Structure 1
Amino acid sequence: MQRIDYAWRLFATALCFFLFGLGALVMTVIIFPLYFLFAGQYRTSLARKTIQTAFAMFLWLMQFTGVLKFEIRSAQRLTECSGQLILANHPTLIDVIAIIAYMPNVNCIVKQELWNNPFVGMVVRSANYIRNSDSESLIDQCEQALQAGNNLIIFPEGTRSRPGEPLKFKRGTAHILLKSKAMLTPVIIQCWPSTLTKGEKWYKIPRTKANLLVEVQPAISITEVMMAAERDADGYSARQLTKKLEDYFVSQIAVGR
């Protein structure tokens, strides 16, 4: 029975990612080009709602076929927030899918390669996501998006974490927080046994079904994160804030285990 279960989950994983790629191709070739007939803001909202729906369907498909068990706690905090920075740790390939599936209007930072990708380039351009090609204006673009009422997803690690290794956040997130003064909603993501981690092929599935848990924490301010940290003449430093964010996520992940 274990071999049959493993074989089925391997097949189901391949099927899910095949359909994901096929769906991206259909949206790029047929659906999203039509969105450019509409004005800018309406096109952006329509594109983001379409992406949310597609991600929700993919997440449902992975659960329905038995690839993984998914649970999200306090999802209403994602659906109700506005102009907030959504910060999440990044243990798996599908973390952004699990978050966007619950957010109809959310922005995120995408790599330049995705912007030019023939399969998803049209999708991310239609959604008016922020590309990371121009590091000098990136923080300003993020601040403008937040001030316009957009929620913004950021993975402070900058890439997927490796199992067993400590979290290591980059300072870019702290610079965005310090400049925008936006509220932040921490999202704690855990997956056991680990799967779809950095450097791991999609077909390297675990021996048992993976459990993906997403816990949405209450929104907090920079002051609440820093608490007793000392301020310098210009306020909190990016280094201090980055360390405090790391400590917060490490403590929350430990609580959830």
Structure 2
Amino acid sequence: MNDRGRFASALWATYEHLAMMIGLGSLGLICLIWLPFAMVLHWLLPRRLGQRIGRSVIAFGFRFYLRILTTFCACRLDLAELDHLRNKGPLIIAANHPSLLDAVLIVSRLPNAVCVMKSSLMDNPLLGAAARLANYVRNDGALPMIARSREALGEGAQLVMFPEGSRTQRFPIDHFTPSLGLIARRSGVAVQTVFLEFSTPYLGKHWPLFQRPQLPLHCRARLGRRFEAGPDHTAMTQALEAYFRQEAQPVWTPSTHSP
């Protein structure tokens, strides 16, 4: 590599570091701005009104955040297929979980989405108030989680779940937990599969938070099959896992015509 090439490579690496800081900092700032309003509204508003406002604001905030990523951070996102789910009524949305960005990508397009979240995130000072206002579901106990998920679906929400339980450790898919099948059986609501595909495993389980991305970062959301709820949650879990193993891609290589 000649001097010009080395300079261009160093300049691009500097931009990747800057883009990483813009991305992480802007998300933190958006959450911080909404935090005091979410805390106050959680106590002042009736539950139904509060959760409707909370979910809509989160969807808007995430969409604004993704606009920052596409404008300043060389991220190329193709999420248009998620828009087909917006007016489809209650659904359990089951997605693979390659990155910390996954919930942000899905919820940005679904204003009545409810996430199943780890208790540590629900109690996080920066994230917890917004999640509680939106009436998200804790995953700290199987029976309460299933009951609360069934209640949210009964109210018309769309439940976002990652059936692996956490970010993927062994690509393309880790083993599924039985929770999703149990919720589908108890609620009678269909499971819509979604595949999130990234050009690199950025912010995956083995990607340190402050390791710079490899830009441009391409990501798309692809709708898969819809599984109707059945009486055998074990069989449903096995069928879903087999389908994800067949369809999921460890790394997506976008074509030159991708957006």
Normalised by the length of structure 2, the TM-score is 0.86
Write out per-residue CA displacement over residues 151-187 of structure 1, whole angstroms, 9 at most, x where no aligned residue: 1000000001136454321111111112212112111
Match of 1:104 among 111, 115, 121: 111
Structure 1 window deviating more from structure 2 (120-129 vs 244-253): it is 244-253
> Which aligned pairs between 1:1-257 and structure 2 lie closer than 5 A?
1-30=8-37, 32-34=39-41, 36-162=43-169, 164=171, 166-217=173-224, 219-222=226-229, 235-236=231-232, 238-253=233-248
Matched letter for residue 53 of structure 2 = L
Alpha carbon RMSD of aligned pairs, Å? 2.1
Residues 34 and 158 (structure 1 numbering): CA distance in 2 closer, same or farther, change over 3 Å?
A: same
1:27, 1:161 → 2: CA distance? Answer: 30
Give unpaired runs (5+ residues) of structure 1: 224-234
Asked if 2 retains the 8 angstrom alpha-carbon contact of 1:72 and 1:213, the reply is yes
CA shift digits 1:25-65 (9 cap, x unpaired): 22112454245332221111011111001100111111111
Q: TM-score, normalised by structure 1?
A: 0.87
- Cα contact 1:107–1:151 (8 A) shared by 2: yes
Are the equivalent residues in 2 in contact too, given 1:115–1:121 (CA < 8 A)?
yes
Verify the 8 A CA contact 2:97 2:168 in the aligned structure 1: yes
Distance 1:162 1:73, change over 3 A: farther
User: What is the alpha-carbon distance in structure 1 between the residues aligned to residue 140 and residue 215 of structure 2?
Assistant: 39
Deviations 1:101-158 (A, max 9, x none): 0011111111111222111111111111111223222112111211221110000000
Gaps spanning 5+ residues in structure 2: where? 1-7, 254-259
2:38/2:130 contact within 8 Å kept: no
Query: What is the CA–CA distance in structure 2 between the aligned matches of 1:164 and 1:27, rounded to whole Å?
Result: 35
Instruction: Give distance in 2, aligned partners of 1:167 and 1:31.
Output: 34
Cα distance in structure 2, aligned partners of 1:207 and 1:117: 29
Closer, same or farther: CA 186–152 of 1 in aligned 2, 3 Å: same
CA distance in 2 between partners of 1:17 and 1:215 (Å): 25
- Describe the shift of the 1:207–1:37 C-alpha distance in structure 2 as closer, same or farther (beyond 3 A): closer
Identify the residue that residue 230 of structure 1 maps to in structure 2: none
Taking only the aligned residue pairs, the percentage that are identical comes to 23
Structure 1 range deviating more: 170-179 or 65-74:
65-74
